[in-house]
Structure 1
Amino acid sequence: MIHILLCCGGGFSSSALTAKVQKDIQQYHLEEQFEIEFSPCMIANKKMDRFDIVVCCPHLTYDVKKLVKNANPDKPIYILPPRMYGLIDIRELSTDVLDILEMYKKNPINPVHFPGEENVMRVTRSVAYCRSNVS
């Protein structure tokens, strides 16, 4: 099972999106494969040891850089593109999560991003990277 921690600034949007993803997990019968929780970014470091990956909302780029510099986490941190965050769907999220986990195994540098997506705020895809036109 893959444990995902979804973070936003104060925990408000991530709590709503986590509830949606939890429903998706049940709808698509993925309870054995994925589990998701939410957290405000400021306390993510205290919780991340229980998770396989930390997924952050797009506006947390600065906070993620600070977290990586100060805490040097030993798990992948992935900043979701804006449209994926707003339209979050477990099928798309899980595809990116699996790919990010593999990328991190090969090159454990945070934050993890797909080629050409270094500036997440310029990414316009709303689907998983492998299904977008950029791959």
Structure 2
Amino acid sequence: MIHILLCCGGGFSSSALAAKVKKDIQQYHLEDKFEIEFSPFMIANEKMDRFDIVVCCPHLTYDVKKMVKNANPDKPIYILPPRMYGLIDIRELSTDVMDVLEMYSRSPINPVHFPGEENVMRVTRSVAYRRSNVS
């Protein structure tokens, strides 16, 4: 099972999105494959060891880079593209999560991003990277 920690600034939007993803997980019968929890980013470092991946909202780009520099976390951190965050869907999220975990296992550098997506605020896709036109 893959344990996902979904973070936003204060935990407000991530709590709503995590609730939606939990419903998606049940709807698509993925309970044995994925589990998601939300958290404000400022306490993510304290919870990180219980999760396989930390997924962050796009406006946390600066905070993620600062955390990586200061704490050097040993879990992959993935910043979702803005449209994907707003339209979150477990099928798309899980695809990116699995790909990010694979990329991180080969090259453990944070934050993890797909080729050509170094600046997440310029990414316009709302689907998983491998299903988008850029792949």
Band the TM-score falls in, shorter-chain normalisation: over 0.9
Pairwise CA RMSD of aligned residues? Answer: 0.3
Partner of 2:105: 105
Q: Matches of 2:36 and 2:133 in 1, distance apart?
A: 28
Tell me the alpha carbon deviations over residues 19-63 of structure 1, each in whole angstroms, 9 at most, x when there is no partner: 000000000000000000000000000000000000000000000
Structure 1 residue 127: Cα displacement? 0.1
Ranges in structure 1 where 5+ consecutive residues have no aligned partner: none
The size of the alignment, in residue pairs, is 135
Residue 70 of structure 1 and its aligned partner are, at CA, apart by: 1.1
- Whole-angstrom CA distance in 1 between matches of 2:84 and 2:17: 11
Rounded Cα–Cα distance in structure 2 between residues aligned with 1:26 and 1:92: 15
TM-score (norm 1): 1.00
Stretches of 4+ moved more than 4 A in 1? none
| 1:93 Cα deviation after fit | 0.1
What 5-or-longer segments of structure 2 have no aligned partner? none
| Deviation by residue 1:93-128 (Cα, 9 ceiling, x = unmatched) | 000000000000000000000000000000000000
Cα shift at 1:131: 0.2
SS across alignment from 1:39? strand
Q: Distance in 2 between matches of 1:58 and 1:74?
A: 20
Between the aligned partners of 1:50 and 1:75, the Cα distance in structure 2 is: 10
Q: CA deviation at 1:18?
A: 0.1
